Amino acid sequence: MTSTSIEAEYGEINDNNRWHGVFQSIKDKCELEAKQKQFTLDESKSVSNRKYNRYRDVNPYDHSRIVLHRGDTDYINANLVKMERANRKYILTQGPLQQTVSHFWLMVWEQDSKAILMLNKLLENKQVKCHLYWPEKIGEEHRMNLTDVGLTVEYLQMEDFGNFSIRTLRLTDTESTKSREILQFHYTTWPDFGIPSSPVAFLQFLKKVRKSGALDDDVGPPVVHCSAGIGRSGTFCLVDCCLVL
């Protein structure tokens, strides 16, 4: 498909207000494929794990869910997404709940992720969409101690780029005393149920993420999240893969 035909197709859908139908057809196709391949959601729906899900209707498949290897549970609402044609891997997850902050950081540690891509604000439309999962202030005295998973998180520095910021955080395993610096790319001008205010700003954000090496295949997959981990998160991955291809 050429760029001209993509533009024409977009115009035809938009002019005739057919977006709901397009979305529904994609949704139906995906649900049919999941049914045919017998993809299950058993772990996410178990009584012991329901409290770890932000939304009742957003659950990770059993075959691709991230499995934790220490702490009081092996469950987190997160999927490994592979785009083999683009040689990309991502971990898509929900914005952490208060009771899943330690699980979130354990996933970052165990999956050897170099970066977290946060595409939402903590509070949107007067609703909490994500719990604050990093220290509020810079400095060792403000570090988070996640004793249930044997990790600490220290806030080192922050750079502000207007539409987004980049935080540097130090993640330490208290048992081995090994540490890694984790970059958090926080995009703050992408509204829930909306689109980025500027394509230029979004592409600048993507360029910074790529330049950091966070998407390279010699490090663990980046952890990508918004509130549910499907809308803005999925869109980021789609744009990145399309540009690769």
Widest distance between CA atoms in the chain: 60
Residue 194, pLDDT above cutoff 80: no
Q: How confident is the model at residue 190 (pLDDT cuts 50, 70, 90)?
A: confident
Backbone angles phi, psi at 66, to 5 degrees: -80, 130
Residue 1, pLDDT above cutoff 60: no
Question: Given 130, 226, 237, 242, which residue is catalytic?
Answer: 226
Q: What's the pLDDT tens digit per position in 4-16?
A: 688 899 899 999 9
Nearest-angstrom CA–CA distance, 134 and 241 = 29
Residue 188 lies in a domain: yes
Residue 220, pLDDT above cutoff 70: yes
Residue 5 lies in a domain: no
Q: Is 227 exposed, middle or buried (0-12, 13-18, 19+ CB in 10 A)?
A: buried
Residue 10 lies in a domain: no
Residue 232 lies in a domain: yes
Using a pLDDT cut of 90, give the percent of the chain over it. 91
pTM of the model: 0.93
Residue 125 lies in a domain: yes
Q: Indicate the pairing of strand 75-83 with strand 127-128.
A: unpaired
Mean pLDDT throughout 171-193? 94
Residue 33 lies in a domain: no
Residue 158, pLDDT above cutoff 70: yes
What was the pLDDT predicted at 7?
A: 86
Higher-scoring residue by pLDDT: 1, 223:
223
Structure tokens at 109: 């540690």
Residue 62's nearest CA partner among 48, 72, 74 is 74
Catalytic residue status for 242: no
Q: How confident is the model at residue 122 (pLDDT cuts 50, 70, 90)?
A: very high
Mean of per-residue pLDDT scores for the chain: 95
What was the pLDDT predicted at 83?
A: 95
Q: What is the CATH number of the domain that holds 193?
A: 3.90.190.10
Mean pLDDT throughout 191-202? 82
* Domain limits for position 144: 39-243
Rama region for 33: left / alpha / beta (φ>0; ψ in -120 to 50; rest): alpha
Residue 2, pLDDT above cutoff 90: no
Q: What's the pLDDT tens digit per position in 18-48?
A: 999 999 999 999 999 999 999 999 999 999 9
What was the pLDDT predicted at 5?
A: 81
What is the count of structural domains for the chain?
A: 1
Q: How confident is the model at residue 3 (pLDDT cuts 50, 70, 90)?
A: low
Residue 100, pLDDT above cutoff 90: yes
Residue 207 lies in a domain: yes
Q: How far is CA 245 from the centre of its chain?
A: 21
Residue 171 lies in a domain: yes
